[in-house]
Amino acid sequence: MKELVVISGKGGTGKTTLVGSFAALTGRSVLADCDVDAPDLHLLLHPTVQAQEEFAGGAEAVIDRERCTGCGRCRAACRFEAITPGFTVERINCEGCGACRVVCPADAVELRERVAGDWFRGETAYGPMVYARLRPTEENSGKLVALVRKEARAWAEREQIDLLLTDGPPGIGCPVIASLGHADLALVVTEPTPAGVHDLERALQLCRHFGVPALVCVNKFDLNPALDEQVRQYCARQQIAVTTSIPFDDAVPQAIGQGVPLTELDGGPASRAVAALWQEVQAALGRAGGEPGT
Amino acid sequence: MSVLSSPRRIAVASGKGGTGKTTVAVGLALVGGRCQLLDCDVEEPNAHLFLQPAIAETEAVTTPVPTVDQERCNRCGRCAAACQFHALAVMGRQVLVFPELCHGCGACALACPEAAIREAPRQVGVVERGRAGQVAFVQGRLNVGEPMATPVIRAVKAHLDPRQLAFIDTAPGTACPVVEAVKGSDLCLLVTEPTPFGLADLRLAVEVMEMLAVPCGVVINRAGPGDRATEEFCRSKGVPLLGRIPFDRRIAEAYARGIHPTRALPEVGRRLAEILYRALGGPGGVR
C-alpha cells in the first residue's frame, strides 16, 4: 500500500481541494483527514458514518477537596498556572503532567483520563474514510492524528485497497509531524505569495528532517507567475520535483460551495490542471498509470 | 487612537487556515497608530513579510529538559513512572531521556528520591523583536522538527506591553497553539471566508472562544454573494459581524506580491479602520 500525505505549511493553499479531487479521480482509495482541528474533507466527500468513538488523549488533574490540606505545594510545582488559589484545576491550562500529584503530601490529586476528541469511520462514494475532531481547546492532536492514520491503514489492509490519501493539517508542529512520519510521499501545496513560499521552505525542511520524499505543487500560480518561477528554481536547487501548477479559478470556491470535489464540478482550467498533476503524483508514488513529473 | 478608553488586547484567529488572519492582524496594526503586533503563529510566522520590521533583538526560547546524574541515580524508575509523556525510560543501567517528548513540567525531578535529576535548557525556537514605524513587533519562530509550539508562544507573549494596544496573530486551528495565543485577550477577531469550509471551521473557533470566555467578533474575508450563511450563524450565536473585506482579485495579487492590501487598495484600509473602531467598542461593535 502507498500513502500520499498532502501538507502545506501555510493554511488555505488547497490541500483539501486536492485530496477530494484525487479521491474522485482515482475512484477507490482510503481517505484519512488528519486536520483534526478543523476537518473539512467530509464536506466534499460526505461519508455515511458507520462508527464513532471517543478519543482519550492524555490526562487531567483532579483535586479531592476532602483530602486537600491547602498546603500549596501543588501550586508551587505547577508550571502551567493550572491550579487556582482555591485549589481547583483550570482544565484549559492543565497539561496533565502530574507534577502536582508527585508533590501532594495528602494524596489528594488524581490524574483522570481526558476525552479530547471523537473519531469517525465512514464510507464515501470513493472509498472508506477515517476522520476525527479534536474537542475545542484540547491537546494531543498529534496522538489523534496517529490514531486516524493507524485506523485508515488497518482499513486499507482489510479491504485490500492499495492507496491511502491523507489530508494533512497546516503548520509544522506536532499534528503535522504525526501526519508525515513514514508516508511514502508528501505533496506540499503552496501558493505564489511571500507567505506561501516562506512556509513551503519550512514544510520541505520538515519532510527532509523526517526522511519523507516531497513533491511540490503551486496553486493559483498565475497570481504571481514570477514567484511561481522562483519556487521552481528553489525546488530545482533542492532537487525536488514540481508538478503542473494550478491556475486561479472561481470554480474552486464554487466546488466547495456545492460540496463536491473540484474535478466533479467541471472541466475548467483548475480541474484540468489537477487531473494532470494527479498523473504526476501517481508516477512519483510509483503507481501504474502515471507519467513522470516535470 | 483617541477612541480608546483603555488599552485593549485583540487576538486574530480562525479555525480554517488561509482565511486572512495575517492580512487582518497586520492591517489593524497599520491603521492602529502606536501599537504592538505579536506574531504567535510560531510554526509559520508571516506577519513580518508584510510589515518588514527592522529586527533589533533575537533571544533563544528554551524549555527545561532533564539530565540524569548517572552516579546518583539508583534506577528506581520513579522519574519514568511520573512522566506522563514517556520522555524518560529506564533501560538496563541507564535512564534515557527523549527531549522532543518532554513537556518541561519538572515532575521527574520532583519524583526523584536521589536528587539525581537536574533540568537544563534546550532551545526550541527564537523570539525576534523590532519595529516598523509606529508598530512594535514581536514574533516567535519554532525550530523545524520541534513538535511543541506553546513554549515559544508564551515567550512571545511575555513581551506584551499592558500599556499599549496590542494585536496578536495566531495559528489556524482550535488546539493548544490557538488557546495559548488567545488566552487573556480582551477580544478575538475570527476571520472567515464565505464557504462551507470557512463556516464549519468558524463554528469550531466560536466554541473555543466560548470555552476561553473571550468575547469574539467575526470578519468575513473574500466577502461576496455567499455571505448569508455566515451572517445567519453570527446572528444565531449573538456574535457581532464586525466587517467584511470584499472578494477582489487585485487584493489577492497585491498579497501575492508581498504588498499589504491596505497599501494597494485604500478601500481595504478604510474597512479595517471600521473593523478596529467596532472592535474597540464603537457602534455595531462588541458589548
Per-residue pLDDT at A289: 45
When pLDDT is cut at 50, 70 and 90, the band that residue B1 belongs to is: very low
B208 plus B110 within the same structural domain: no
**CB A81: neighbour CB atoms within 10 A?**
11
Identify whether residues B273 and B170 lie together within a single domain.
Answer: yes
- The Cα diameter of chain A in Å comes to 71
Give CA–CA dist A260/A254, Å, rounded. Answer: 9
Strand (E) or helix (H) holding A119: strand A109-124
- The predicted model gives A150-158 an average pLDDT of 97
Task: Name residue A6's beta-bridge partners.
Answer: A167, A187
Residue A155 has pLDDT above 80, yes or no: yes
Q: What's the Cα-to-Cα distance from B196 to each of A263, B6, B218, rounded to whole Å? A: 18, 37, 16
CA-to-CA distance for B37 and B33, rounded, in angstroms?
11
**Per-residue confidence band for B2, with pLDDT thresholds at 50, 70 and 90:** very low
**CATH number of the domain to which B89 belongs:** 3.30.70.20
Mark whether B109 and B181 lie in a shared domain: no
pLDDT given at position A266: 83
Q: Say what the pTM is.
A: 0.93
CATH number at residue B263: 3.40.50.300
A121 is a domain residue: no
- Residues A92 and A187 grouped into a single domain: no
Residues A97 and A145 both lie in one domain: no
If one counts every other C-beta atom within 10 angstroms of the C-beta of residue A155, the result is 19
Rounded alpha-carbon distances, angstroms, from residue A254 to A67, A185, A270, B196, B230: 60, 29, 12, 10, 16
- Closest-CA residue of A relative to B41 is A171
Same domain, B76 and B30: no
Same domain, B170 and B275: yes
B26 located within any domain: yes
Assign A249 a pLDDT band (cuts: 50, 70, 90): very high
Is A258 found in the same domain as A141?
yes
* Domain containing residue B75: 63-123
A13 has a chain B CB within 8 A of its CB: yes
In this structure, are B118 and B168 located in the same domain? Answer: no
Q: Which residues of B touch A37 (CB under 8 A)?
A: 15, 172-175, 178, 204
**Same domain flag for B175 and B268:** yes
C-alpha B17/C-alpha B209 separation (Å) is 17
Asked if B174 and A111 come within 8 Å (Cβ–Cβ), the reply is: no
Q: Is residue B140 part of a domain?
A: no
pLDDT in the model for residue B5: 53
Cβ-Cβ contacts under 8 Å, A103 against chain B = 110
Q: Is residue A292 part of a domain?
A: no
pLDDT band at B6 (very low <50, low <70, confident <90, very high): low
* CB nearest A173 (choices: B85, B142, B258): B142
Using a CB-CB cut-off of 8 Å, the residues of chain B touching A17 are none
For position A290, what pLDDT does the model report?
43
Do B216 and B257 fall within a single domain? yes
> Which residue shows C-alpha cell 513522470?
A292
ipTM, 2 dp: 0.91
- For residues A196 and A106, membership in a common domain is answered with no
What is residue A110's predicted lDDT score, i.e. its pLDDT? 97
Domain with A91 in it: what CATH number?
3.30.70.20
The arithmetic mean of pLDDT across residues B12-20, rounded, is: 95
For the segment A241-252, the average pLDDT, to the nearest whole number, is 96
State pLDDT tens for residues A14-66: 999 999 999 999 999 999 999 999 999 999 999 999 999 999 988 999 999 99
Residues B103 and B186 in one domain: no
Do B75 and B117 sit in the same domain of this protein? yes
Cβ neighbours of residue A69 under 8 Å, at least 6 residues apart? A105, A106, A108
Using alpha carbons, list the distances in angstroms from residue B4 to A8, A188, A273, B1, B282.
39, 43, 50, 6, 10
* A201/B contact by beta carbon, under 8 A: no
Contact criterion met (CB below 8 Å) for B264 and B250: yes
Average pLDDT over residues B2-24: 83
Ranges A172-186, B1-15, B188-202, B242-256: which has the least confidence: B1-15
Per the domain annotation, does A135 fall within a domain? Answer: yes
What's B155-216 look like in SS3? Answer: HHHCCCCCCCEEEEECCCCCCHHHHHHHCCCCEEEEEECCCHHHHHHHHHHHHHHHHHCCCE
pLDDT at A256 over 90: yes
Mutate to test the interface with B, among A97, A204, A252, A258 (most CBs of B within 10 A): A97
Q: How far is CA A258 from CA A103, B146, B195, B197, B247, in A?
A: 56, 38, 9, 11, 18
Examine residue B154 and state whether it is found in any structural domain, yes or no: no
pLDDT for residue B265 is more than 80: yes
Q: Residue B130: how many CA atoms within 13 Å on its side-chain side?
A: 14
**A124 grid coordinates:** 464515501
- pLDDT level of residue B7 (50, 70, 90 thresholds): low
| pLDDT (0 to 100) of residue A291 | 44
Residue B150 lies in a domain: no
- Do residue A222 and residue A187 come from a single domain? yes
pLDDT tens column, B163-186: 999 999 999 999 999 999 999 999
A285 has a pLDDT exceeding 80: yes
Contact: B16, A40; criterion CB under 8 Å:
yes
Number of folded domains that form chain B: 2
- Based on its alpha-carbon atoms, the radius of gyration of chain A, rounded to whole angstroms, reads 22
Whether residues A161 and A62 share a domain: the answer is no
| Same-domain pairing of B190 and B253 | yes
Quick one: A152 and A264 in the same domain? yes
| B274 found inside a domain | yes
**A291, part of any domain:** no
Same structural domain, A69 and A198: no
CATH of the domain at A35: 3.40.50.300
Q: Are residues A21 and A98 in the same domain?
A: no
Tell me whether residue A294 is in a domain.
no
Average pLDDT over residues A231-250: 96
A137 and B212 within 8 Å at the Cβ level: the answer is: yes
- For cell 462514494, name the residue: A125
* Single residue among A86, A115, A144 that ends a domain in this structure: A115
User: Is the CB of B197 less than 8 angstroms away from the CB of A40?
Assistant: yes
pLDDT averaged over chain A?
Answer: 95
Instruction: Select from A118, A140, A167, A172 the residue whose CB has the most chain B CBs within 10 Å, as the one to mutate to test that interface.
Output: A172
Same domain, residue pair A266 and A144: yes
Please tell me the total count of domains within chain A: 2
pLDDT for A141 equals 87
Say yes or no: A34 and A170 in one domain. yes
Same domain (yes/no): B174, B254: yes
pLDDT digits (tens, 9 = 90+) for B181-234: 999 999 999 999 999 999 999 999 999 999 999 999 999 999 998 899 999 999
Looking at the structure, tell me whether residues A69 and A139 fall in a common domain. Answer: no
A207 at the B interface (CB within 8 A)?
Answer: no
Question: What is the span of the domain harbouring residue A66?
Answer: 57-115
Give the per-residue pLDDT at A6. 98
